Amino acid sequence: MTVTTVKTAPIDGQVPGTSGLRKKTHIFMQPHYLENFIQSIWTAIGGVRGKTLVLGGDGRYFNDRAAQVILRMAAAGGAAKVIVGQSALLSTPAASHLIRLYKTDGGIIMSASHNPGGPDEDFGVKFNMPNGGPAPEPVTDRMVAAAQSISEYHIIEAQDVDLARLGTTTLGAMQIEVVDPVADYAELMEKLFDFKAIKALLDSGFTLRFDAMHAVTGPYATAILEGALGAAPGSVVNAVPSPDFGGGHPDPNPIWAKDLMDVMMGPDAPDFGAASDGDGDRNMIVGRGCYVGPSDSLAVLAANAHFAPAYSAGLKGVARSMPTSRALDRVAAKRGLECYETPTGWKFFGNLLDDGRITLCGEESAGTGSDHVREKDGLWAVLLWLNILARTGKSVAQMMTDHWAEFGRNFYSRHDYEAVDGARAKEMLDRLRGRLATLPGTDILGAVVDSADEFAYDDPVDGSRSTGQGLRVTFQGGGRIVYRLSGTGTVGATLRVYIEDVSDDPATFTKDTQLALNDMIDRAETLAGIAEFTGRTAPDVRT
Ligand code: VG1
Ligand code: CO
């Protein structure tokens, strides 16, 4: 085995965002681009010599080629072993599980998650730590520093490894174990949930439709929902992962999973519908004629998790990202649970989970998870929902009605302004930031501002501080508006405006969300001048 040392130079923009480094695929395919970043990961984690890593991705375009490069660089760095999902496929939660199960030194996940895939779309790489969770900021900071000062990388010359065949092989002195991407994960799910109850529910005629959106969860959902649980063949649709996700946008929300929404709102809707994203860590839940917003789903799961064997002893505590609606807080308050508020991105939940402070957590962006892995987990959320429905005998719509009756309703919507001018969006936020201190006590279109600040997070476990995590304005009566820029986009800037209002009046509970939020939406515009700074009079996407 010959290790080649390749001279290189820093490349602009190699800065991981909310979840790893994401760029246009053609940028990742440029000479040295992937290699520079992988070498920088090795530097950030103190090298790979003697280490065991997990490797897999969501199957998007360039996944197969990138895997071969990463393996050759791991071998050149002296790694002892890499556990690879067959055909270089692993969902993000399955990768997290393998890292933990086999007590490895971490892993690389090749994914740009909900971003579209293909030669003209997006690719991404993220590193997960030995606890199975995304690298925290101090580690990604070291990646950035390494990428900015890189002068060479190391790679071996070798033929491609056959990743289609299960079993053990070697690359130079490094062992490669190609594993079934689904098996260990499916076994974990069976341990967490009451499969007997779910099976009985499905046997009784309960129908479901899971839309894998041509992404990585197809094989997982087919094996678990149709295989282990006996859902009717064909219940899982768009089940074969494709490099460009069938030309679609693998983001499970009512806009991008419109086909599923149409079926669920139609006359022949099944009892339960769900979808997942590119890398399988997000979920959308929808009942017959009843869409469940992600923040509500998180609250319902927290309130009912005890129906699943893994959580029957109750939850240690819960957490949500700051922009996520405070429906979860209401559950926590009633149940006497500690509720933590973290910045956007799963990496901030890791310490709370590791430290045993929380069992369950989630984000408004359709991510929910628990201490079973250190990533959000789409299929896990689907199975927990099914477990709860099986044990309570309720429909999805009934669950929601009962939940709101007990806890009240937090109307919630996120408005995204995509590919806006980044400089102008920053100016808008700068102006608002400058006015925050003067806002409390002022009346904005009939509601009085209660507090206004820029969110910063002090991690209660390791004491680290993360600043600049979004501008938030709360109103007397419980309404709230949050503004932040996305950290996962690859073109221009995406402005996210998170709008929330609360109601305890049962007569309003079934109101349309956008209508219920009308006044708050107007306040969001009045406060920030979105139209003036972005040139947009309406968002591109409302979730
Ligand atoms: C978005 C979501 C955030 C999520 C992140 C990664 O980040 O808002 O909640 O953790 O994507 O999800 P941003 O910075 O664009 O708002 V995934 O499934 O794309 O890895
Ligand atoms: Co994802």
pLDDT of 415: 96
Token match 């430290």: residue?
355
**Cβ(543) – ligand 1 distance below 6 Å:** no
pLDDT of 19: 86
pLDDT of 469: 95
Nearest atom within ligand 1 for CA of residue 115: 19
185-407 and 409-542 share one fold: no
The percentage of the chain sitting over the pLDDT mark of 70, rounded to a whole number, equals 100
pLDDT of 17: 87
Would you call 440 exposed, middle or buried from its count of C-beta atoms within 10 A (0-12, 13-18, 19+)? Answer: middle
pLDDT of 463: 92
536, 419 in Cβ contact below 8 A?
no
Gap between the Cα atoms of 290 and 271, Å rounded = 10
Over residues 235-241, mean pLDDT: 96
Over residues 160-185, mean pLDDT: 97
Q: What's the pLDDT tens digit per position in 512-523? A: 899 999 999 999
pLDDT of 376: 97
Q: 185-407, superfamily in CATH?
A: Alpha-D-Glucose-1,6-Bisphosphate, subunit A, domain 3 (3.40.120.10)
pLDDT of 222: 98
Q: Residue 288: what residue type?
A: R
- Beta bridge partner(s), residue 98: none
Phi-psi region of 294 (alpha: psi -120 to 50; beta: other; left: phi over 0): alpha
Pairing of strands 272-276, 236-237: unpaired
Q: What's the pLDDT tens digit per position in 467-488? A: 999 999 999 999 999 999 998 8
pLDDT range class, residue 128, cuts 50, 70, 90: very high
Rg (CA), the chain: 23
Gap between the Cα atoms of 436 and 450, Å rounded = 11
pLDDT of 14: 96
DSSP string computed for 437-449:
GG-TT-EETTEEE
pLDDT of 378: 98
Nearest atom within ligand 1 for CA of residue 281: 18
Is it the case that residue 1 has pLDDT exceeding 80? no
Distance from the CA of 174 to the center of ligand 1, in angstroms? 34
**Cβ(96) – ligand 1 distance below 6 Å:** no
Distance from the CA of 482 to the center of ligand 1, in angstroms? 15
Please give the distance of CA 309 from its chain centroid, rounded to a whole number.
24
Token match 């290189």: residue?
8
Is it the case that residue 3 has pLDDT exceeding 90? yes
pLDDT of 508: 87
Q: What's the pLDDT tens digit per position in 105-116? A: 999 999 999 999
Q: What tokens does 62 get?
A: 């360039």
Residue closest by Cα to atom 20 of ligand 1: 113
Neighbour count for residue 477 (Cβ, 10 Å): 11
Pairing of strands 81-89, 174-179: parallel
**Cβ(91) – ligand 1 distance below 6 Å:** no
Is it the case that residue 306 has pLDDT exceeding 80? yes
Distances (CA, A) of 221 to 89, 193, 230, 265, 280: 14, 15, 11, 22, 10
Neighbour count for residue 200 (Cβ, 10 Å): 13
Distance from the CA of 461 to the center of ligand 2, in angstroms? 26
Which CATH number is 409-542 given? 3.30.310.50
Nearest atom within ligand 1 for CA of residue 20: 20
Candidates 56, 48, 57; CA nearest to 77 is 48
Q: What's the pLDDT tens digit per position in 243-290? A: 999 999 999 999 899 999 999 999 999 999 999 999 999 999 999 999
**Cβ(114) – ligand 1 distance below 6 Å:** yes
In the structure, ligand 2 is a single-atom ion and the residues with CB under 5 Å from it are 113, 277, 279, 281-282
Task: Pick 3-180's CATH classification: 3.90.1150.10, 3.40.50.10320, 2.102.10.10, 3.40.120.10.
Answer: 3.40.120.10
Is it the case that residue 74 has pLDDT exceeding 90? yes
Task: For residue 228, give the DSSP letter.
Answer: I
Q: Which ligand minimizes its atom distance to the CA of 345?
A: 1
What HEC string does 355-378 produce?
CCCCCEEEECCCEEEECCCCCCCH
pLDDT range class, residue 7, cuts 50, 70, 90: very high
pLDDT of 107: 98
Q: Where are the domains of the chain?
A: 3-180, 185-407, 409-542
pLDDT of 148: 97
Over residues 11-21, mean pLDDT: 92
- At 500, phi and psi to the nearest 5? -140, 145
**Cβ(277) – ligand 1 distance below 6 Å:** yes
67, 110 in Cβ contact below 8 A?
yes
**Cβ(222) – ligand 1 distance below 6 Å:** no
Q: What's the pLDDT tens digit per position in 26-61? A: 999 999 999 999 999 999 999 999 999 999 999 999
DSSP string computed for 53-64:
EEEEE---TTHH
Distance from the CA of 280 to the center of ligand 2, in angstroms? 6
Q: How far apart are the first and last CA of the chain?
A: 52
**Cβ(487) – ligand 1 distance below 6 Å:** yes
Phi-psi region of 391 (alpha: psi -120 to 50; beta: other; left: phi over 0): alpha
Q: Which residue has the higher pLDDT, 358 or 1?
A: 358
Active-site residue flag, 113: yes
Q: Residue 444: what residue type?
A: I
The active-site residue out of 19, 87, 113, 297 is 113
Is it the case that residue 491 has pLDDT exceeding 90? no
Please give the distance of CA 215 from its chain centroid, rounded to a whole number.
14
Gap between the Cα atoms of 107 and 100, Å rounded = 10
Over residues 3-11, mean pLDDT: 97
pLDDT of 505: 87
Token match 């002090």: residue?
458
- Residues 516, 277, 312: CA angle, nearest 5 degrees: 80
Task: For residue 232, give the DSSP letter.
Answer: P
pLDDT of 346: 94
Q: What's the pLDDT tens digit per position in 133-161? A: 999 989 999 999 999 999 999 999 999 99
Q: What tokens does 208 get?
A: 């479901």
Residue closest by Cα to atom 13 of ligand 1: 486
State whether residue 342 is helix, strand or coil: strand
Is it the case that residue 489 has pLDDT exceeding 80? no
Q: Tell me the pLDDT of the chain averaged across its residues.
A: 96
pLDDT of 530: 94
pLDDT range class, residue 490, cuts 50, 70, 90: confident
Q: What's the pLDDT tens digit per position in 345-364? A: 999 999 999 999 999 999 99
Phi-psi region of 214 (alpha: psi -120 to 50; beta: other; left: phi over 0): left
